[in-house]
């Protein structure tokens, strides 16, 4: 036994014994009107995760060459182009070749889901959507993030005039996940992003297979949300078809019943996690984050 006690340290010194496994990398995608490295939002989250999980590699996605472009692109760059850009970034990052966890905030949640469905390499393990609108949103922007109120005033008017016109769909991010329950046929036919990733025009078996490969799909709903209409979209629910008053949970939607994305099978396998947090959109405490979110990152 003495020889064994000596041999193991020697092997470790020679680099022949594996050390502790490195933490799983984390990819973050910010929401509307934000940027990758805002010190009071994504920059804070990145530092918080790095503090709580020593040695973790965190990539906070930037779409554009600087922070201003990153913020502007969250309003005006075609989402499909953004997803392609992110897939390219992830594929070229050597730190992510073994796989990663993903955490999206607000619209970043559904954008990262598109990454999971369209770009399986490198593999995404856990997807954490914090306030993401997976069935879309509708009826205005009750309030606007940061210093972008003038932008949102223009967006409201544009969406009211023609959310499903080709020019608006191709150049306004929020139109691409605009889901009007009173115009379901227009939405299914003309939505160039959300209707595609939600399998509204047919079944893409690759999308289904790739999403079902996730270990966990965590959806966080803000219980006092005044920015997302309807808030249940954050749990993949939506308005009952043909009206805009009564909402139904994911399990009562045709998407779930027909299992077009594999969500029913994932739910039965315990892969779907529904978390609620008191507060308005993206308002949460560090204590809640530590208790509820960090376990999915380790």
Among residues 41, 60, 74, 106, which one is catalytic? 106
Three-state DSSP class for residue 224: coil
**DSSP strand E in the chain: where?**
26-29, 58-60, 100-105, 124-130, 216-222, 238-239, 247-248, 272-277
Characterize 211-243 residue by residue with b for buried, 16 or more Cβ atoms within 10 angstroms of its Cβ, and e for exposed: bbbbebbbbbbbeebebbbbbbbbbbbbbeeee
- The pair phi, psi for residue 23, each rounded to 5°, is -60, 150
Rounded CA gap, 176 and 164, in Å? 8
Known catalytic residue: 106?
yes
225 is catalytic: yes
DSSP β-bridge partners for residue 100:
124
In degrees and rounded to multiples of 5, residue 224 shows phi and psi of: -120, 35
Q: Judge whether 175 and 227 are in contact, CB under 8 Å.
A: no
Catalytic residue among 196, 225, 259, 267: 225
Phi/psi-derived region of residue 81, left when phi > 0, alpha when psi is between -120 and 50, beta in every other case: alpha
Structure tokens at 36: 């990758």
**Residue 281 is a catalytic residue:** yes
What lies within 8 Å, CB to CB, of 52 at 6+ separation is 290, 294
Instruction: Find the catalytic residue in 34, 41, 281, 292.
Output: 281
Q: Which tokens is 243 given?
A: 């009206």
Name the token pair of 20.
Answer: 């502790």
Q: In sequence order, what are the beta bridge partners of 128?
A: 103, 218
Do residues 195 and 110 lie in contact, with contact meaning Cβ atoms separated by under 8 Å? no
Whole-angstrom distance, CA of residue 61 vs CA of residue 77 = 14
Residues involved in catalysis: 106, 225, 281
């Amino acid at each position: 036994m003495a020889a064994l006690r000596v041999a193991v340290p020697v092997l470790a010194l020679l680099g022949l014994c594996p050390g502790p496994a490195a933490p799983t990398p984390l990819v973050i995608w910010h929401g509307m009107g934000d940027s990758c490295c805002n010190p009071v939002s994504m920059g804070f989250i990145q530092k918080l995760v790095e503090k709580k999980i020593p040695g973790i590699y965190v990539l906070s996605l930037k779409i554009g060459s600087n922070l201003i472009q990153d913020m502007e692109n969250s309003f005006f760059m075609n989402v499909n182009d953004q997803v392609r850009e992110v897939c390219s970034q992830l594929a070229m990052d050597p730190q992510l070749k073994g796989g990663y966890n993903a955490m999206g905030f607000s619209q970043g949640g559904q954008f990262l889901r598109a990454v999971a469905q369209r770009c399986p390499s490198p593999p995404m393990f856990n997807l954490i959507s914090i306030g993401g609108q997976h069935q879309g949103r509708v009826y205005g922007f009750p309030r606007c993030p940061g210093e972008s109120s003038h932008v949102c005033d223009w967006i409201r008017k544009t969406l009211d005039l023609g959310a499903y016109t080709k020019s608006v769909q191709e150049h306004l991010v929020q139109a691409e996940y605009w889901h009007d329950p009173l115009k379901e046929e227009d939405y299914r036919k003309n939505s160039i992003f959300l209707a595609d990733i939600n399998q509204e025009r047919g079944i893409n078996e690759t999308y289904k297979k790739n999403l079902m490969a996730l270990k966990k799909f965590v959806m966080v709903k803000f219980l006092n949300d005044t920015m997302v209409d309807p808030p249940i979209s954050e749990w993949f629910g939506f308005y009952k078809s043909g009206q805009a008053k009564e909402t139904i949970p994911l399990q009562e939607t045709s998407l779930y019943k027909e299992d077009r994305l594999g969500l029913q099978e994932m739910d039965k396998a315990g892969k779907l996690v529904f978390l609620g947090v008191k507060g308005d959109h993206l308002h949460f405490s560090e204590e809640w984050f530590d208790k509820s979110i960090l376990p999915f990152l380790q």
